[in-house]
A = this chain, B = another copy of it.
Amino acid sequence: MDYQLFAKKLETISAIPITAFHDDLSVNWEGVKENINYLIEHELEVVVPCGNTSEFYALSIEEAKEEIRRVVEYVNGRALVVAGIGYAVPTAVELGNYAKEAGADAVMIHMPVHPYITSNGATQYFKSIIEQVDLPALVYFKDPNVSDDVLKELAPLEKLVGVKYAINDLPRFTKLVREVPTSHNIAWICGTAEKWAPYYWNAGAVGFTSGLVNILPSKSFELLEALRANDHKTSWDVWEYVLPFEELRAKYNNGNNVVVIKEAMEAVGLTAGKTREPVAALNEADHAEVEALLETWGLKTTQNL
């Protein structure tokens, strides 16, 4: 396994697919398949089932496994599949080993959901999972109370190929990137999507996560290309264009994060369905904002996607 080469392949958009649900909240696998095909047809190169936009924390462990297995099958070699895994160490290892068997290319280890985390304990948490799962691994780092020393200690591990950093403390991120030797081949990924990508990029990120790609992949790629080309004018223009959508997702302490995407997808004829608990449908005002924004974007029909 050439981990260095693998890390290079992460220098792009990490697409986090939604998990489509039927009205009774069972998983709509046909809808998941449609969505994955949509992402691949729009040239996404990295697909992350069981990410936060996939409502990972609303899936049972068995459903999470099925999502990983099916996404590998639907992607069918046309992109890298990075499977989200998490919870307690034994559960994360179980999911990781399942992902390996199912043919996933890598795992993304979620931040532990444990209410008590010590920085040394977090290092042990990630290390234990990375060691027990025979796949390249990314760490999803989002708890500002946990020290970046965790990442500095994990960085020399050969299997650690990327960090999805989601703490919007940019000087902190910048220091971290500069302190980890480039010889460790860590792909630094902005974990807070298009709204924050330009700042992270400027500080050393080489990719960003996106939920927006489920509905408007062209703009995400426009941003990626502009960032790569160091074209500030274009990148801030795209940023401004997508900002209202991202800000609507950020409402209610991010409560709206996924439901905005899903209702937008449904509004333009894609299949997404409802969100599961603990996320409810948008209120009327927010839904009207989604509709208005789709109109601005020229997406009120299923054309031009």
CB neighbours of A117 from chain B (8 A): 253, 255, 278-279
- Bound-state CA distance A59–B113 (Å) is 12
- Bound-state CA distance A208–B230 (Å) is 57
Q: Is the CB of A279 within 8 A of B121?
A: yes
Stretch in A5-13, A85-93, A213-221, A293-301 touching the partner: A85-93
Q: In the assembled complex, how far is the CB of residue A59 from the closest CB belonging to chain B, in whole angstroms? A: 6
Q: In the assembled complex, how far is the CB of residue A129 from the closest CB belonging to chain B, in whole angstroms? A: 9
CB neighbours of A128 from chain B (8 A): 277
Q: Is the CB of A88 within 8 A of B59?
A: yes
Per DSSP, chain A at the interface is: loop
In the assembled complex, A102 has its CB within 8 A of some CB on chain B? no
In the assembled complex, A242 has its CB within 8 A of some CB on chain B? no
- Bound-state CA distance A113–B56 (Å) is 10
In the assembled complex, A276 has its CB within 8 A of some CB on chain B? yes
Interface size class of A (residues with CB under 8 A): 35 or more
In the assembled complex, A94 has its CB within 8 A of some CB on chain B? yes
CB neighbours of A145 from chain B (8 A): 252-253, 255
- Bound-state CA distance A63–B279 (Å) is 28
Q: Is the CB of B278 within 8 A of A94?
A: no
**Which of A88, A252, A280 has the largest number of chain B CB atoms within 10 A?**
A88
Report A83-125 CB contacts with B as 1/0, cut-off 8 Å. 0000111110010000000000000000011111111111111
Q: Is the CB of A87 within 8 A of B57?
A: yes
A→B interface (CB under 8 Å): 52, 55, 57-61, 63, 87-91, 94, 112-125, 128, 145, 252-259, 275-281
